Amino acid sequence: MRRKASLCSALTILITLTAAAGVTQVGKNDGVVNPNLAGKDELLRLAHLDENLVASILEQRPSIGMLALHELLQPMLSEEALEELYAQLFVPIDLNTASREEILLVPGVGRRMAHEFEEYRPYKAMAQFRREIGKYVDDDEVARLEQYVFVPIDLNTASEDDILSIPGVGQRMLHEFMEYRPYRSMAQFRREIGKYVDDDELNRLARYVTLRPE
């Protein structure tokens, strides 16, 4: 009986951990470099980036968006080079607000898939994205696409794992996010978190969060 109880307990823990991992709102982008967070040396190791381009990227940090990055690089690189680079370097885009132009910057996404991205708005969670886009491509391709997108998390209900999935957020900032709950407005979020970061970083973080009606 003890062994059975232990097995049940272990199974419960495993299910809990799996569920927690499944609600993370920012896609896993372990293989894709975020230009707002990467160091100079890391950027220089990427295909098609030289000292001048890297310097230009660093000047616009930490709140450069994907369209701004594209506008910076497009005059300097061919379409083929850009597609190869964006497979390695990308600013995650908001699934609910990204323009068609932004969606088409995701490597391998054409007009048909861009339409499917838009078809299921508004997204409430990454799990919804996986489910809906999984109707058209296999699991490996869903996982690849997930690297380039995110769904904003609710400041008052997001789990710790959700908050830690925001690029650049660690344990210290997690504490500050949690400290000021419940948030009544985005203005409050900006006021409180603005005590710890400058305006550019605050704008970057604000892209990943929202306040949904109660």
Does residue 174 register a pLDDT over 50? yes
Q: Are 146 and 138 in contact (CB under 8 A)?
A: no
Q: Which two three-digit tokens encode residue 130?
A: 């996986």
More confident residue, 15 or 180: 180
Tens digits of residue pLDDT in 52-96: 999 999 999 988 899 999 999 999 999 999 999 999 999 999 999
Give me the pLDDT at residue 44, please: 97
What is the rounded average pLDDT of the residues 133-146? 96
Q: Are 163 and 174 in contact (CB under 8 A)?
A: yes
Q: Residue 131's closest CA among 147, 120, 118, 115?
A: 120
Q: Which two three-digit tokens encode residue 63?
A: 């709140």
How far apart CA 66 and CA 49 sit, in angstroms, is: 16
In the chain, where the domains are located: 40-150, 153-210
Give me the pLDDT at residue 212, please: 87
Tens digits of residue pLDDT in 161-171: 999 999 999 99
Does residue 183 register a pLDDT over 90? yes
Of 28-37, 119-128, 157-166, 194-203, minimum mean pLDDT range = 28-37
At residue 145 the predicted structure's pLDDT band, cuts being 50, 70 and 90, is: very high
What is the rounded average pLDDT of the residues 189-202? 97
Handedness of CA 206, 94, 41, 57 (dihedral sign): negative
More confident residue, 203 or 11: 203
Give me the pLDDT at residue 48, please: 97
Q: Taking the model in full, what pTM does it have? A: 0.83
At residue 22 the predicted structure's pLDDT band, cuts being 50, 70 and 90, is: very low
At residue 23 the predicted structure's pLDDT band, cuts being 50, 70 and 90, is: very low
Q: Which two three-digit tokens encode residue 104?
A: 């088409």
